[in-house]
Structure 1
């Protein structure tokens, strides 16, 4: 079917590599080339922090052996793309070399945001996304750093704070909002995370916004100034105020872009045989009711790659993302979310159940519509099973049914404290419900069932 057809994928992150691997499984004959200037081999981006902290070497972040690519006839081209000639179907590299394609997949990911702050390009100022960013951070913090400042909350910010704290570099964390990640988390969860950050001796400063980064005579950062006029001496600044699609080199051409590369639900752009997936793709219509036009999450990138591979193999497939979920860590507190739990909601339309352990590091939130049907949950400090909530959302379970069966969702080993028992008790106190509260097993009693 494919003959000598050549599929070129720009970007070897989770989206691009997943697309290449799945396309090869579906089509033995198509020629596939992965292009990346960042690294020759695919690596786990989420593991970069552990390389910095010395828990693993960079090669340990590569899930496939180097021979994997040749064995599966996936060609690798380590180079940076300068521009694309869509009329002649050629990629032009910064070296001037060209590469022809029949189908082109753009999977170039994200880049750290910069908002035009004075001093944002000084030495010692950087974001954290790429392998090159990791190497730069290792160089920038090797010596002579008595304090670091991180600008912007969120998941990359908390990762960078943990990395620096591990190296015993004091950190001031500037968050312009009133609560940590409070555009995503409800106020109770935001407060829980903020308190936990402070307990780790990280100087979290809420409602503190960057005005200027100040440099010394050599062009290196020496301080930051906030909008309140405070000056904080520092030798390293991490810019972690979100990411945006890495598409600067694509703008100004016939390819339709906005914040990202515009695509339909089949990942097709406005140019025939050109597709975009992953962080850099922007849907022209929402893929589902609770989804955003740009999805910058690891598992959605994987799903993009799997879906597009079907289309490229001659099996046209539209993207069906299913129910939203995500997971992360705030230092040593694990976080999971399933379904729809916004930062705030209309209480005339939505009921909220919230339970928090007295220790302040474990919490459970469930949102219900006024008929009592599950909308979504947040979970902090213990693990619950994804397949349980995927089924509950698909089958539109009531909140009472979810809570009554919560023991089945428990992911932690049996000898962990069974928090679901206390959650069941509290839900019954607040909402009632005709169900029995779970009883701890013998092993739980032996190790202590009290939470």
Structure 2
């Protein structure tokens, strides 16, 4: 029997997934020819962002290399764009003179980036972010240029901004809306995301409309002008304001289009021999830009191309599970809600977790998650299936695990999920496919599952569910590393502990030296690993390792706390929370002069000036004449005190004096995470010492020292460490414990998590039971602080620190 001819226009993820599905159904039905306008075989467009940051290479994201096409008898034409369809002759013609006949034609032309119709949009240095060529242009630009503007606060815009920043550019994101990712997140989650991205060094201009892109005499970008008349200098403009279905070819060929190539439920166009899938399609008035719906379309189209004739695509209920520059976000359904709905919310801004569940009657209709998205798939299943949540409501916010504790684990745990449950939305992989691969292929690791099923191989946000399925299938034989044993980031395979050990044993004193010795995959690291490396080097080799300010979070670099509206917060230092009339007058005068919109007392007993403009910061610091910058970094924050025996009739010791002494003793100390202390003058504990990293409570005979506390929504009560008698003992034991934490904790590991990992008895053995070691720890802390402290002394002078600040605020 002579084979029919199938021509595929488009070599992207949707078109080639259709071919993969077709080959499963019938390998011998068609001679297949594929035309791709790019010079690369089929690649994972979702992973362009890691290529931009340098975490992966182009080769790493190829889904099907040229050998796959050859092995399946597919004729592949790269760098060849179909420009005409002769529907009468059933032929396609290309820009390089090729022709191909078809019995069936599959249009998978995807989408094209929308370029704002403003003056200057064709200048050299104006690019989009859609394919490998765009990434190559951005990588080249980052090697030569300094300033970039990304227009668009959606996913692509944020990924482009993060990638350029990771390559050393100063990046501003311009967004027309009031919140980022406004199609995927509600305002509260978007605010958390924006704050986190600011801490990583990105700047934002929200509710700004671009009027023109400005060029220099050589025709290159030099700036951007907004509708309000303001301008911003830049060397590069990245347009990431949206996509449009690529329907030019279909329209020129007389195929009916309306916001895409119009198709029916079989993915057939108005021409019965022409099918279409992917972002170029309009189905029931909807165009989908997410991968999962496109793969659903591919499966149905393949079914009909294989002449089975039983598949039907009825549209997709979409969820969005993304990893935005390393931050997990998820949304599904109607996560905004309305007058006839109710919302349950959980917010922990300090811990970086936000959850919102929207309920209508007894059904969950929407969910928005930030930071903790592990239960996203479960919430999505409840939304899609429309199940009653009446019996689950009390535990709903706490996720599927909490439901299991109520006696319904068989119904709701991973083990109880039906095989049809979609686990990997990026690649459309269901639980049954993963289970089958594990059992038939004898898989014992998540990496093996990625290789055989593609689950968790794209954004990676479903890796936790894949791990749970693996464990449910093979139990203790699953090769699952605990979090502490996982690589620091995608740039390298070493863990935090292994990297710290290498830095110490090999006497590595710079980031570049460490990257070379440990054979980092990326030449400069990324926004995840560089701050950690910088801390490990500084804490291991004080006085030798040079602080790399560009590897610090933006709050530490700018010595002020960026707020969600782009203004800054300044917290003047007040030792132990004690101030005087002179300081208060200066604070009031500054607040009046610079029209500070809010003056607030913080939880740490300090005064916060909120809403200060960037350009006013140097003058504010100078007129306050009070150090600032301690309340924002991964460092000593504040020591909270009560008044103690000096004024309080219940006080047993001078808690205020002890708090001041501790803060002065530790000032300038950098640490793996923020560190908060409190000193209470009696067991009534008015300073809340029981939930601090270091809590000191006065008793009649001296002081009780507690460690590992943490406030917030996941409160950890501090554990009793030691009872002391003298002022000097408190300083020594506190400093020794903190130095042990500095030397052994992983970057971004709070004291409570450090102690959970190593055990309280380990810390006691090193600090309480070993006097010589305690003295050495305290001495090492004081030596390190002598090199780390007092950036304030340089801040108002013409020093590198000042020049750096001026660059940041330019």
The TM-score by the shorter chain falls in which range? 0.7 to 0.9
Q: CA–CA distance in 2 between the matches of 1:406 and 1:400?
A: 13
Partner of 1:432: none
Select 1:332's aligned residue among 326, 329, 332.
Answer: 326
Residue 228 in structure 1 maps to residue 220 in structure 2: no
Secondary structure of the residue that 2:329 maps to in structure 1? strand
Select 2:306's aligned residue among 287, 303, 313.
Answer: 313
- CA 1:278 to 1:246, structure 2 compared with 1: closer, same or farther past 3 Å? same
TM-score normalised per structure 2: 0.48
Partner of 2:125: 124
Partner of 2:337: 345
Per the TM alignment, residue 183 of structure 1 is displaced from its structure 2 partner at its CA by 4.2
Q: CA–CA distance in 1 between the matches of 2:390 and 2:140?
A: 51
Instruction: Give CA deviations for 1:13-36 in whole Å, capped at 9, x if unaligned.
Output: 111011011111211212112210
Per the TM alignment, residue 251 of structure 1 is displaced from its structure 2 partner at its CA by 2.3
* The 10-residue stretch of structure 1 (153-162 or 381-390) with the greater mean CA deviation from structure 2: 381-390
Whether the 8 Å contact between 2:337 and 2:366 is mirrored in structure 1 is: no
Partner of 1:290: none
Partner of 1:435: none
Q: CA–CA distance in 1 between the matches of 2:317 and 2:178?
A: 29
Per the TM alignment, residue 379 of structure 1 is displaced from its structure 2 partner at its CA by 1.6
Residue 197 in structure 1 maps to residue 197 in structure 2: yes
Residue 401 in structure 1 maps to residue 395 in structure 2: no
- CA 1:240 to 1:31, structure 2 compared with 1: closer, same or farther past 3 Å? same
Whether the 8 Å contact between 1:365 and 1:377 is mirrored in structure 2 is: yes
Q: CA–CA distance in 2 between the matches of 1:32 and 1:249?
A: 20
Q: CA–CA distance in 1 between the matches of 2:221 and 2:391?
A: 55
Partner of 1:83: 84
Q: CA–CA distance in 2 between the matches of 1:406 and 1:108?
A: 40
Select 2:369's aligned residue among 368, 379, 391.
Answer: 379
After TM superposition, the runs of 4+ consecutive aligned structure 1 residues lying more than 6 A away are 412-416
Per the TM alignment, residue 215 of structure 1 is displaced from its structure 2 partner at its CA by 0.8
Secondary structure of the residue that 1:17 maps to in structure 2? helix
Partner of 2:350: 359
Per the TM alignment, residue 275 of structure 1 is displaced from its structure 2 partner at its CA by 1.1
Select 1:300's aligned residue among 269, 280, 293.
Answer: 293
Partner of 1:46: 46
Instruction: Give CA deviations for 1:106-125 in whole Å, capped at 9, x if unaligned.
Output: 11111111131111111110
Instruction: Give CA deviations for 1:164-194 in whole Å, capped at 9, x if unaligned.
Output: 1101100111111112123442221121122
- CA 1:179 to 1:385, structure 2 compared with 1: closer, same or farther past 3 Å? closer
* The 10-residue stretch of structure 1 (70-79 or 83-92) with the greater mean CA deviation from structure 2: 70-79
Whether the 8 Å contact between 2:337 and 2:358 is mirrored in structure 1 is: no
Whether the 8 Å contact between 1:192 and 1:360 is mirrored in structure 2 is: no
Partner of 2:4: 5
Taking the TM superposition and a 5 Å limit, the aligned residue runs for 1:16-415 are 16-29=15-28, 30-78=30-78, 79-143=80-144, 145-283=145-283, 285=284, 293-316=286-309, 317-321=311-315, 323-341=317-335, 344-346=336-338, 348-359=339-350, 361-369=352-360, 371-385=361-375, 387-393=377-383, 394-398=385-389, 401=392, 403-404=395-396, 406-407=400-401, 411=464
Whether the 8 Å contact between 1:374 and 1:399 is mirrored in structure 2 is: no
Q: CA–CA distance in 1 between the matches of 2:299 and 2:253?
A: 28
Q: CA–CA distance in 2 between the matches of 1:102 and 1:76?
A: 17
Secondary structure of the residue that 1:56 maps to in structure 2? coil
Secondary structure of the residue that 1:142 maps to in structure 2? helix
- Greater percentage in helix: 2
- CA 1:221 to 1:107, structure 2 compared with 1: closer, same or farther past 3 Å? same
Secondary structure of the residue that 2:163 maps to in structure 1? helix
Q: Structure 1: give runs of 5+ residues left out of the alignment.
A: 287-292, 417-421, 424-442
Instruction: Give CA deviations for 1:133-185 in whole Å, capped at 9, x if unaligned.
Output: 22222233330x22111111100000001001101100111111112123442
- CA 1:3 to 1:349, structure 2 compared with 1: closer, same or farther past 3 Å? farther
Instruction: Give CA deviations for 1:375-413 in whole Å, capped at 9, x if unaligned.
Output: 121221123256533542315131651635621579488
Secondary structure of the residue that 1:278 maps to in structure 2? coil
Say how many residue pairs are matched: 412
Q: CA–CA distance in 2 between the matches of 1:60 and 1:255?
A: 37
Whether the 8 Å contact between 1:175 and 1:207 is mirrored in structure 2 is: yes
Q: CA–CA distance in 1 between the matches of 2:287 and 2:387?
A: 26
Which gives a bigger RCO, structure 1 or 2 (Cα 8 Å, sep 6+)?
1
Greater Cα radius of gyration, structure 1 or 2: 2
Per the TM alignment, residue 89 of structure 1 is displaced from its structure 2 partner at its CA by 0.8
Q: CA–CA distance in 2 between the matches of 1:156 and 1:36?
A: 23
- CA 1:104 to 1:227, structure 2 compared with 1: closer, same or farther past 3 Å? same
- CA 1:197 to 1:400, structure 2 compared with 1: closer, same or farther past 3 Å? farther
RMSD (CA atoms) = 2.6
Secondary structure of the residue that 2:356 maps to in structure 1? strand
Per the TM alignment, residue 202 of structure 1 is displaced from its structure 2 partner at its CA by 0.9
- CA 1:155 to 1:400, structure 2 compared with 1: closer, same or farther past 3 Å? farther
Secondary structure of the residue that 1:68 maps to in structure 2? helix
Per the TM alignment, residue 68 of structure 1 is displaced from its structure 2 partner at its CA by 1.8
